[in-house]
Amino acid sequence: MGDSEYILEADGLHKSFGSGQVAEHVLRGLDLRIRRGEFLAVMGPSGCGKSTLLHLLGLMSGTDEGTIVIDGLNTTGLGETGRAELRRRKIGFVFQRFNLISVLNGYDNIALSLRIRGMDTSRTGELLEAMGVKAVAHKKPSQMSIGQQQRLAVARAIAHKPDILLADEPTGSLDSENAEALLELLTRANRQDGQTIVMITHSDAVTEAAGRVVHMKDGKITNENP
């Protein structure tokens, strides 16, 4: 673990897609620091670069310019193998579209996440019960409700107890009851397990669970709510 109070540090991030006159500049010199154990919500209009930022922080794609430091490690120059190893050890993801493996049942969706990290899978049943989805242990995603799929996705993301949990509109496909339940799970992971959470959202109600809110516009952080 690094000595800095910040577990994530982004400086001068630039990211564009395409090239030449058709290039779309998504991030334009973005700076952001996130403290250990923080629950941060990122808000902003569609197209402002929120999801791109999350992908960069999670080392799922590279920057055009700028640096990202994770737990004291400057990730500039890391190859794909190095980025993949850091993701496996430090980061969990919750996607709006869940990204569950369709041919695996609920139990194996979680267990696989542990196996690929060389971890014991014995806590899989405990996670299913804690997330309230024990009933889908032997069901495939297509046999689950939307709420069950999202709870399972969260269980998979936190199974290896990552230091950082990145969530992209995790309540976007949920009704109010399931959205509230999911936020309770994320809050528990933050407060009880000390996981740092970075969550993208459009919902003002969702931000009430966060300890800090930042707003994005045109590829930059524009202001913060303490």
Q: What is the CATH number of the domain that holds 179?
A: 3.40.50.300
Predicted pLDDT at 226: 54
Predicted pLDDT at 2: 56
149 located within any domain: no
**Distance in angstroms (rounded) separating the CA atoms of residues 181 and 101:** 23
36 located within any domain: yes
**Distance in angstroms (rounded) separating the CA atoms of residues 169 and 51:** 9
118 located within any domain: no
178 located within any domain: yes
Query: Any idea which of 52-61, 84-93, 168-177, 205-214 has the lowest mean pLDDT?
Result: 168-177
Residue-wise pLDDT tens digits, 2-20: 567 899 999 999 999 877 6
Paired residues of 46 in beta bridges = none
**Distance in angstroms (rounded) separating the CA atoms of residues 120 and 14:** 39
More confident site: 152 or 4: 152
Report the domain count for the chain: 1
Q: What would the DSSP string read from start to end of 122-180?
A: TTHHHHHHHTT-GGGTTS-GGGS-HHHHHHHHHHHHHTT--SEEEEESTTTTS-HHHHH
11 located within any domain: yes
Query: Which structural domain, as residue segments, surrounds residue 180?
Result: 6-100+162-225
